[in-house]
Amino acid sequence: METPNNYVFIHGKNISHNTLAGSAVGPHMSIDKLFPALLECFGIILCGYIAGRTDMITESQAKGLGNFVSKFALPALLFKNMVVLDFGDVIWAFLWSVLVAKVTVFVLVCVLTLMVASPDNRYSKAGLYAIFATQSNDFALGYPIVDALYRSTYPEYLQYIYLVAPVSLMLLNPIGFALCEVQSWRQASHLQHNSLGILGIVVLQVLKNPIVFMVIVGIISHFALGERIPSVLSEFIDGLANSFGGAALFYLGLTMVGQLRKLTRDTGVALILLITAKL
């Protein structure tokens, strides 16, 4: 039975079929674009794995590709998106919740590892395991999937990837690196560096990291350039930034070659526990 105000009664409930009312509900994610995005990501990873498995690309060549991705393509991508990012649309409570969640997982994994690991490599394992539990492949894998799902419905979702990732890159990872440095000096025959020296070295290494450096430069340029990249630099930055996605996924496939042979019982158990913590 249909009423004058365009409602259909089904099992005693009013189900609107009015087009205006339906559009007011809001757009939905483009789930039909998910499979092509997954095929794109994992297809490129598979190509990289095959290239490494058949020795089409040598280990030294793969290392060169990794340097290009981490020192040129990704810093350019981060710089571009930091400059054009619209901070006015950001829900800061959401970002704070992500920060609290990541810090909580990081601290828990770090403390538990320090409690159960052997003294020989306690600090280095704590740092590396904590980084593993909080680090994610936001740009190479996360961005294409979010882009496929929400580009036409909620394009503002994409900017959160560029805001969440620096939480790990600039806050948590340096703590993990500091623990690794502590372990290396504890194992050294001469302890010439105090805690303040270790902290200074870690801070210097973090600032010299192209990814962290370009995030800082991008945020400064965001306010200095008025949220736009000068036209004289736009094509250059775009060229480097657009090369990141395919190169990063291909390199990921290259690095997977031969990793299963290195998997022992102890590392397998640690890997399962870390994946559980990450989930």
* 7-10 and 13-16 beta bridge pairing: antiparallel
- The pLDDT assigned to 111 comes to 93
pLDDT in tens, the chain (279 residues): 444 444 444 444 444 444 444 444 455 666 777 888 889 899 999 999 999 999 999 888 999 999 999 899 989 998 998 898 887 778 888 888 988 999 999 999 999 999 988 878 888 889 899 998 988 888 888 888 888 888 888 887 888 887 887 777 778 888 888 788 778 777 765 555 566 776 777 777 777 878 878 888 988 998 888 888 988 889 999 999 999 989 999 999 999 888 777 777 777 788 888 888 888
Q: Are 211 and 169 in contact (CB under 8 A)?
A: yes
Query: Is the Cβ–Cβ distance between 161 and 195 less than 8 Å?
Result: no
Q: What is the pLDDT of residue 3?
A: 46
Residue 26 burial class via C-beta count within 10 angstroms: exposed 0-12, middle 13-18, buried 19 and up: exposed
Helix (H, G, I), strand (E, B) or coil at 10: strand
Query: Distances in Å between the alpha carbon of 37 and those of 29, 41, 44, 149, 244?
Result: 13, 6, 11, 9, 16
3-class DSSP state of 55: coil
Q: Which has the closest alpha carbon to 160: 177, 129, 136?
A: 136
Which pLDDT value is given to residue 106? Answer: 93
CA distance 65 to 22: 49
Q: How far apart are CA 239 and CA 243, in angstroms?
A: 6
| pLDDT tens track for 109-123 | 999 999 988 878 888
Q: Residue 5's pLDDT is what?
A: 47
Using CA atoms, how far apart are residues 275 and 278, in angstroms rounded to an integer?
5
Cα(144)–Cα(126) distance, integer angstroms: 31
**pTM of the predicted model, to two decimals?**
0.73
